[in-house]
């Protein structure tokens, strides 16, 4: 690949010559996806290797049919692991690097070529088959951020099994719920995971989960990590055969790829549900391969030979889509990182990885950037590394506030690009499509709808609202390929959760607006809109203002009970490292800033300085839990919480 870099006020803009062909404009591509979705997606499908190629894109083409009946590329068959591995080896790229595993926890790097990764996947596919997994069977993968996680996922895809990755370290009860729902034939785990300052042994958690669960898998396969040891003997009473990963893979017979129908489930990924029972989002094989292949080239401008790093975890949808599948679909090199943005060992961890591996684009959560900024606001650690290979930083998972955007842009000197998507969609709903040429970057906006997504803003009755008016963000059906096939064994819940509220539309659950130029602004979850004395106000808008204060590293604004006004906003802020400011002075300045920007109607007057905000492992602030604590309501400690001690300290501060 040859690239030319020019600089403008937005930072470097990459003009890639991946294909050598002139690029279409975003407006032309988007219009084609809406006006002729059948032709658009059949053309996109040509970038995928099929056993039986599709002749139709969507079944049924009648958009009035229930979404649960809509299937992409009916009649076509393929294998996902072939698209990720075999086809690149056949094309002569077997010696190209497919996966780099960089562990800050063990100070080690492991590299796999496409040949080597394919060999491991073929062998582990044979292990799974011998252990009792076959086409349509489920396999629960409970692993830390090690290469075996990607190998297990791809091996499941190879034999037509349906994988369900559970974040390594999840509590036994949460794992048991997922085991009973997915009913796996096999569970794949490891001797443990590594966290800063501690290890987490997995077999005891799996043993406890199997004690709680009613379903029994045929086998549990354990990868022994020498850094942790192998307490796998605790699984002896589980009723399942306990197998050692290395022993089994050494004697396994490599398994050929099994072609499956396009709509055959590839994986189940559980996401939080309002009832407490997680929702098992189901992804198909064909639509998934087409959408993610298209996205790498058009959203991220990444292709064969590029080094791509998604700093997430395979337990989340970002890890599924953009650590494992999408980069391998296009023949890129994917970096899998075991570590944190700070503390492993310092705030220069991300810059080291970029420099060591020549990373061209980084995809991470805004909370990671805020953590780095808090620990190193002057970016002194950055001076130790050459990150000239980096051409863009992509952010998702939560809203990228303008203050973090400005800091990252100025610090890195590359485009900092927000985009918005959900576990259910599997890829971006709105994005700045770098593969279609430079587009203006607007702070606070994930830019424009991605081709195939017909994004609309409606009021509570489902009526469209004017440009610039806040409302419910919905997507007109049918959803494009790559989005959820449904919920595992729960079609009624799928329809209730996403389709019933506004007929003919998918309910995102987020609120926001579209400006006059077509840029989308996502302000937060719809339930983050609070009612203050009859005025509907967005806590996301207030957070944006609070976060812009020079002393604030990150913040959360939630609506709490008020006897007079019904609700009022209350702010919780974390100060930047080394900043000292009187709490009352800070409160007065923030109150003034919110009043000036929104008006006195906001009645913003509560500000509490905290050492840290409680978050999930993926970096999302637990706003609902914060609100429950402040209001004195009972709450359940979320299974996804990153550090329970932070939540304890938060509650102690508010209710000593």
C-alpha dihedral sign at 286, 320, 255, 48: positive
Least confident among 249-253, 453-457, 459-463: 459-463
Three-state SS for 13-67 is: EEEECCCCCCCCCHHHHHHHHHHCHHHHHHHHHHHCCCCECCCCCEECCCCCCCH
The CA distance from 404 to 204, in Å, is 40
Of 365 and 45, more confident = 45
> Dihedral angle at the C-alpha atoms of 480, 481, 484, 486, nearest 10 degrees?
90
- Report, as an integer, the average pLDDT of 263-273: 89
Backbone φ and ψ for 379, nearest 5 degrees, come out as 55, 40
* pLDDT 10s digits, 499-516: 999 999 999 988 899 999
User: Angle at the Cα of 313 (from 245 to 611), degrees rounded to 5?
Assistant: 130
Q: Could you say which of 3.10.180.10, 3.40.50.980, 3.40.718.10, 3.80.10.10 is the CATH number of the domain covering 92-261?
A: 3.40.50.980
What mean pLDDT, rounded, does the chain reach?
Answer: 89
Q: What's residue 565's pLDDT?
A: 67
- Report, as an integer, the average pLDDT of 53-76: 79
Q: What's residue 8's pLDDT?
A: 31
- pLDDT of 66 > 90? The answer is no
Contacts of residue 324, Cβ cutoff 8 Å, sequence gap at least 6: 84, 150, 153, 154, 314, 334
Bridge partners of residue 615, in order along the sequence: 621
Q: What's residue 533's pLDDT?
A: 52
Q: What's residue 67's pLDDT?
A: 60
- pLDDT of 436 > 90? The answer is yes
Q: What's residue 228's pLDDT?
A: 85
Give how far Cα 81 sits from Cα of 204, 259, 385, 413, 481, Å: 31, 10, 35, 37, 18
Least confident among 125-139, 524-538, 543-557: 524-538
Residue with tokens 């790829």: 257
Bridge partners of residue 7, in order along the sequence: 12
pTM (predicted TM-score): 0.83
Of the spans 29-43, 365-379, 534-548, which averages the highest pLDDT?
29-43
Contacts of residue 592, Cβ cutoff 8 Å, sequence gap at least 6: none
- Report, as an integer, the average pLDDT of 145-155: 98
SS3 content of the chain, % helix, strand, coil (to 5): 35, 25, 40
Least confident among 182-191, 245-254, 637-646: 637-646
The fraction of the chain above a pLDDT of 90, given in percent, is 67
Q: What's residue 564's pLDDT?
A: 65
In 128-233 the beta strands, taken as DSSP E runs, fall at 138-142, 162-165, 186-190, 192-195, 198-201, 219-223
Residue 640's nearest CA partner among 171, 154, 274, 57 is: 171
Band (276; pLDDT cuts 50, 70, 90): low
Q: Are 96 and 77 in contact (CB under 8 A)?
A: no
The CA distance from 290 to 284, in Å, is 11
Of 21 and 302, more confident = 302
Residue with tokens 């898998």: 217
- Report, as an integer, the average pLDDT of 324-352: 97
- Report, as an integer, the average pLDDT of 469-495: 93
Band (154; pLDDT cuts 50, 70, 90): very high
Q: Are 88 and 331 in contact (CB under 8 A)?
A: yes
- Report, as an integer, the average pLDDT of 582-607: 86
Band (64; pLDDT cuts 50, 70, 90): low
Band (642; pLDDT cuts 50, 70, 90): confident
Q: Where in the chain is the domain with CATH 3.40.50.980?
A: 92-261
- Report, as an integer, the average pLDDT of 258-278: 84
Q: Are 350 and 381 in contact (CB under 8 A)?
A: no
Q: Could you say which of 3.20.20.70, 3.40.50.1370, 3.30.300.30, 1.10.357.10 is the CATH number of the domain covering 533-654?
A: 3.30.300.30
The CA distance from 99 to 94, in Å, is 12
CB-count burial class (<10 Å; 0-12, 13-18, 19+) for 516: exposed
Q: What's residue 438's pLDDT?
A: 82
Q: What's residue 17's pLDDT?
A: 38
- Report, as an integer, the average pLDDT of 596-608: 80
Report residue 19 as tokens. 């294909």
Q: What's residue 596's pLDDT?
A: 79
């Amino acid at each position: 690949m040859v690239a030319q870099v020019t600089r403008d006020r937005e930072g470097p803009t990459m003009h890639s010559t991946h294909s050598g062909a002139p690029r279409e404009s975003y407006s032309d591509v988007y219009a084609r996806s809406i006006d002729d979705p059948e032709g658009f997606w059949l053309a996109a499908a040509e970038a995928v290797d099929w056993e039986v190629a599709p002749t139709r894109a969507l079944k049924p083409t009648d958009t009035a049919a229930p979404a649960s009946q809509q299937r992409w590329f009916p009649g076509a068959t393929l294998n996902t692991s072939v698209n990720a591995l075999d086809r690149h080896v056949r094309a002569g790229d077997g010696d190209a690097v497919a996966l780099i595993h960089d562990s800050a926890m063990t100070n080690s790097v492991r590299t796999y070529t496409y040949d080597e990764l394919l060999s491991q996947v073929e062998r582990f596919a044979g292990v799974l088959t011998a252990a009792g997994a076959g086409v349509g069977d489920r396999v629960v993968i409970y692993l830390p951020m090690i290469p075996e996680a990607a190998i297990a996922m791809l091996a499941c895809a190879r034999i037509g099994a349906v994988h369900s990755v559970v974040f390594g370290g999840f509590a036994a009860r949460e794992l048991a719920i997922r085991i009973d729902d997915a009913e796996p034939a096999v569970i794949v785990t490891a001797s443990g995971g590594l966290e800063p300052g501690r290890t987490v042994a997995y077999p005891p958690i799996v043993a406890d989960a199997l004690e709680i669960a009613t379903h029994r898998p045929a086998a549990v396969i354990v990868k022994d990590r020498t850094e942790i040891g192998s307490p796998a003997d605790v699984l002896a009473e589980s009723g399942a055969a306990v197998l050692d990963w290395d022993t089994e893979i050494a004697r396994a017979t490599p398994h050929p790829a099994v072609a499956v129908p396009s709509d055959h489930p590839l994986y189940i990924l559980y996401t939080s549900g309002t009832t407490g029972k997680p929702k098992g989002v189901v992804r198909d094989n064909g639509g998934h391969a087409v959408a993610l292949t298209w996205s790498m080239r058009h959203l991220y401008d990444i292709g064969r030979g590029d080094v791509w790093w998604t700093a997430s975890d395979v337990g989340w949808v970002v890890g599924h889509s953009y650590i494992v599948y999408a980069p391998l679909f296009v023949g890129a090199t994917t970096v899998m990182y075991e570590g944190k943005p700070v503390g492993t060992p310092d705030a220069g961890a991300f810059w080291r990885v970029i420099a060591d591996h020549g990373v061209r684009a980084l995809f991470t959560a805004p909370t990671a950037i805020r953590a780095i900024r808090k620990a190193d606001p002057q970016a002194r650690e950055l001076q130790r590394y050459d990150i000239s290979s980096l051409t863009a930083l992509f952010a998702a998972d939560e809203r990228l506030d303008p203050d973090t955007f400005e800091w990252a842009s100025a610090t890195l000197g590359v485009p900092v690009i927000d985009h918005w998507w959900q576990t259910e969609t599997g890829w971006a709903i709105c994005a700045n499509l770098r593969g279609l040429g430079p587009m203006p970057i607007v702070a606070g906006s994930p830019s424009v709808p991605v081709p195939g997504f017909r994004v609309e803003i409606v009021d509570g009755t489902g009526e469209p609202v004017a440009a610039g008016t806040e409302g419910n963000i919905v997507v007109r059906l049918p959803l494009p390929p790559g989005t959820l096939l449904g919920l595992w064994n729960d079609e009624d819940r799928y329809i209730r959760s996403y389709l019933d509220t506004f007929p003919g539309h998918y309910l995102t659950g987020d609120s926001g607006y579209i400006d006059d130029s077509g840029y989308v602004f996502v302000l937060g979850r719809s339930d983050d809109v609070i009612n203050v004395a009859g005025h509907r106000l967005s806590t996301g808008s207030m957070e944006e203002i609070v976060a812009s204060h020079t002393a604030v590293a990150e913040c959360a604004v939630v609506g709490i009970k008020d006897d007079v006004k019904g609700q009022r906003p209350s702010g919780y802020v974390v100060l930047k490292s080394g900043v000292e400011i009187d709490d009352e002075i800070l409160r007065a300045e923030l109150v003034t800033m919110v009043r000036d920007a929104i008006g006195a109607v906001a009645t913003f007057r509560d500000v509490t300085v905290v050492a840290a905000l409680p978050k999930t492992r993926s970096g999302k602030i637990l706003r609902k839990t914060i609100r429950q604590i402040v209001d004195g309501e009972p709450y359940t400690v979320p299974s996804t919480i990153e550090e329970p001690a932070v939540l304890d300290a938060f509650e102690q501060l508010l209710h000593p």
